[in-house]
Amino acid sequence: MEMNKGNILWVDDEIELLRAHVLLLQEKGFHVETATNGEDAIELVKTKDFDLVFLDEMMPGKGGLETLSVIKEISPSLPAVMITKNEAESLMEDAIGSKISDYLTKPVNPSQVLLACKKFIEGKKIQGEQVSRGYTEQFSAISRQLLNPLDYTEWIELYVKLVNWQMELDLHPELGLQKMLADQVREANAEFSKYVERNYRLWINAKENRPALSTEVIEKYVLPKLQSSPSIFFFVIDCMRLDQWLVMEEYLRDLFSMQKEYYYSILPTATPYSRNAIFSGLFPSELEQRFPELWQGDDDLESSHNKYEKQLLDKLLERKKVPLKPEAKYIKILDVEYGRQIQSNILSYASNKLTAIVVNFVDMLAHGRSDDPILKEIAPDESAYRSLTNSWFKHSSLLAMFQTLATKKDIKIIVTTDHGSVRCLRGSKVIGDKEASTNLRYKFGRNLKSDDKQSIFLKNPKEYKLPQRTVTTNYIVAKEDYYFVYPTDYHKYLNQYRDSFQHGGISMEEMILPVITLEPKK
């Protein structure tokens, strides 16, 4: 016996005239119950579970819309298809709204009815089957692609493809393909780490045949737009991955036209290095040499190395001969209350030629999840982490700023990040002296040793344009999803930091970063 595909309630005072449609649905495997008036339909919905209701608009007694109102109180998520002779615009607007899922105009034909059933009852299953087939085919294609050498543009394309599949599979957890995709991302990151290890030193010393790097973000993506726009808002969202941006993007599609480009973060992919490189246009060693007063403080306190971003930005504009009147405005948002203040005044900054706004919440989200068991419970995996980002953004002052700025015609918004983060699942044992830095994805100090399959050893920091500090200072940078753990209390710290989102190392998530230009549509 064929399995029941779903339970349908059809409500019409002339139901006998629709018997042929009812029989067709039953032949197709649906269970159909009928009612000739609104009161009987309401009683049926109270006592039985239905997957779809067809509802005649004009009936004696309770009309279709009145009946639907009561049905929605009983079963808010039950899809309802209104069947009507009325093609008035008001009914179409109701159909677009939440009360009516769809509507059909009389006389209905069998294909319309069957399509509605497939859409609302089998739609998720059909979409899931297509997604499953699509990813299975892509899995093989991506695996073949990883066997061949890729250049930096091909790595961007591959990473974007993998992230898009992550977003797609978030919608279909019932397919059970997340593990397969996670394994493929890990495989890709292993190859990406080898690629970066081979090429990074060449990139930072070359002018061509390399990706755009952190040092060029303002010169390449911001300064050219100053020529064509009276006002530029430059947002740097600390520690934002591509998948997190795609979550945010959904709220902005109707407000802005978008252009998306990509750049690579410098190493280490950590705020003192990558964000200072953005605002100064200089590599860390160049910054230390030219402006030693702006490179100081305790290296383990990231905030201490980012006190001078406004000064660095001013010096970059001066060096590039871009005089601004009034001078560039710089804002750093570290807490919710200040974010709300900026939100309420955001349009007052539109008189500035350039306003740079650093938003720290996503970084705090990553660190908070690592330290807070409740956040870890709420976001146990990458999909849930994206969901947590979604929950924050839709209620955030940042979204409110974007919505307000969308009302201004003569502005452009450029959004980027200084680095991403990677979910660390494997510990890597590291040995170093007691003065070595405490970061989990990169370290500097003397006598550092780690497994070269799990990290890269930067023996001569100057070759990588990193501060030398002392003659014997070296750096190590973790690859893939490894994090550094000292032998002392190894298992304690291995467990403490396992499954936390960290940054500073080499992974697609940390290094391949979006730059988005937004222009208001209205």
Structure confidence by residue, pLDDT tens digits, 409-443: 889 999 999 999 999 999 999 998 877 888 999 99
Lowest mean pLDDT among 96-100, 170-174, 215-219, 500-504: 96-100
Cβ-Cβ contacts under 8 Å for 122 (sequence gap 6 or more): 5, 6
The pLDDT of residue 94: 62
Count of the separate structural domains present in the chain: 4
Q: pLDDT-derived band of residue 296, with 50, 70 and 90 as boundaries?
A: low
pLDDT at residue 212 is higher than 90: yes
- pLDDT, position 378: 81
* Whether residue 95 has pLDDT greater than 70: no
Mean predicted confidence (pLDDT) in 11-39: 92
CATH number of the domain residue 37 falls in:
3.40.50.2300
Q: What phi, psi does 451 have (nearest 5°)?
A: -70, 125
- Span 196-204, average pLDDT: 96
Domain limit, last residue, from 202, 224, 241: 202
DSSP of 235-271: EEETT--HHHHHHHHTTTTTTEEEEEEEEEPPSS-SH
> What sign for the dihedral angle of Cα 267, 269, 273, 275?
positive
Q: What's the whole-number average pLDDT of the chain?
A: 90
Report the percent of the chain where pLDDT is more than 70.
95
DSSP 506: B
Report how far residue 497's alpha carbon sits from residue 183's, in angstroms, rounded to the nearest whole number. 20
Of 370 and 340, the structure prediction assigns the larger pLDDT to: 340
The reply to whether 504 falls in a domain is no
Residue 97 lies in a domain: yes
410 compared with 304, residue with greater pLDDT: 410
> Does residue 13 lie in a domain region?
yes
- Enumerate residues 6+ apart whose C-beta is below 8 A from 143: 184, 187
Q: What is the pTM of this model?
A: 0.84
Range of the domain at 85: 6-108
Q: What is the pLDDT of residues 167-198, one digit of tens each?
A: 999 988 888 888 999 999 999 999 999 999 99
pLDDT at position 171: 87
| Structural domain contains residue 43 | yes
The 8-class DSSP code of residue 62 comes to: S
Nearest CA to 281 among 237, 203, 216, 200?
Answer: 216
- Contact indicator for 398, 359 with CB cutoff of 8 Å: yes
105-116 pLDDT per residue, tens: 888 888 889 998
Q: DSSP character for 293?
A: G
pLDDT bin (cut points 50, 70, 90) of residue 300 is very low
Q: How far apart are CA 302 and CA 161, in angstroms?
A: 32
pLDDT at position 301 is 45
Structure tokens at 182: 């996670």
The pLDDT value recorded for residue 187 is 97
- Indicate if 393 and 473 belong to the same structural domain: no
86 and 19 co-located in one domain: yes
Domain for residue 113, yes or no? no
Indicate whether 515 belongs to any domain: yes
Tell whether 255 and 376 lie within a shared domain.
Answer: yes
What Cα–Cα distance (Å) separates residue 256 from each residue in 249, 412, 414?
10, 10, 12
Q: Are residues 373 and 388 in the same domain?
A: yes
Place 369 in a pLDDT band, splitting at 50, 70 and 90.
Answer: confident
**Would you state the torsion angle of the CA atoms of residues 258, 95, 78, 26, taken in this order, to the nearest 10 degrees?**
-110
Tokens describing residue 472: 């014997």
Q: Which domain CATH number covers 287?
A: 3.40.720
Give the pLDDT confidence score for residue 407 in this predicted structure: 95
| Segment holding 216, helix H or strand E | none
Domain co-membership, 197 together with 225: no
Q: Rounded to whole angstroms, how far apart are CA atoms 501 and 146?
A: 25
Judge if 191 and 73 occupy the same domain: no
The band of 305, judged by pLDDT with boundaries at 50, 70 and 90, is low
116 found inside a domain:
no
pLDDT in tens, 442-481: 999 888 999 999 999 998 999 999 998 777 788 999 999 9
For the cut 80, the answer to whether the pLDDT of residue 120 exceeds it is: yes
If asked whether residues 172 and 258 sit together in one domain, one would say no
- 271 & 377 share domain: yes
Mean local confidence (pLDDT), 509-520: 97
- Inside any domain, residue 384: yes
Q: Same structural domain for residues 452 and 469?
A: yes
**Are 86 and 168 in the same domain?**
no
What's the per-residue H, E or C state across 405-462? Answer: HCCCCCEEEEEECCCCCEEECEEEEEECCCCCCCCCCEEEECCCEECCCCEEEECCHH
List pLDDT tens digits, range 218-277: 999 999 999 888 999 999 999 999 999 999 999 999 999 999 999 999 999 999 999 999
Whether residues 196 and 218 fall in one domain: no
Instruction: Please tell me the predicted confidence (pLDDT) of residue 326.
Output: 87
For the ranges 375-384, 429-438, 487-496, 509-518, the one whose mean pLDDT is highest: 509-518
324: nearest Cα among 227, 416, 408: 227
Q: Are residues 362 and 218 in the same domain?
A: yes
- Residue 223 host element (H or E): helix 223-226
Domain end: 202, 224, 242, which one?
202
